[in-house]
Amino acid sequence: MEAVLECVHEIKEPSAILIEEVFNTAMDYQMCLDTRVMAIHSLGNVLMELKKSNEEASVKKKQLYVAMLYRLLNTPQPPIFHDAISKVIFTLKPT
C-alpha cells in the first residue's frame, strides 16, 4: 500500500475512484498510523492536481474532499493525523 501511495503524486489526472480509495485508506483504522498519514499527504497531492484544473467537476470534487477533511478534524484522531490534515487543508486554500 505504501508503495502505491508514494507514487500517487505522479498522477496528473486522478480519477474519482483513486481519490476515493486514497481517502478510504486514510480512514481505515486497521491500517497503521504511518500509512494513514501517508494517505492524507497523497490525498493532498491529488487534490492539488484538481486545484490546478478549472473544470467545474474538478473544482466541486476538490471542495467535497476539503469539506470531508474539515469534518475529520472534528473526530478523535491522533495529533500527527490532525496535523497532516491541517497541512493539507492549508495547502489547498485559495491564494
Q: Which of 13, 90, 4, 93 is nearest to 46 (CA)?
A: 13
Q: How far apart are CA 55 and CA 87, in angstroms?
A: 24
- The CA distance from 64 to 56, in Å, is 12
pLDDT digits (tens, 9 = 90+) for 20-67: 899 999 999 999 999 999 999 999 998 888 777 777 877 788 888 889
Rounded Cα gap, residues 42 and 22, in angstroms: 7
The amino acid occupying position 36 is R
**Cα Rg, the chain, nearest whole Å:** 12
pTM above 0.85, yes or no: yes
* Rounded Cα–Cα distance for residues 37 and 39 (Å): 5
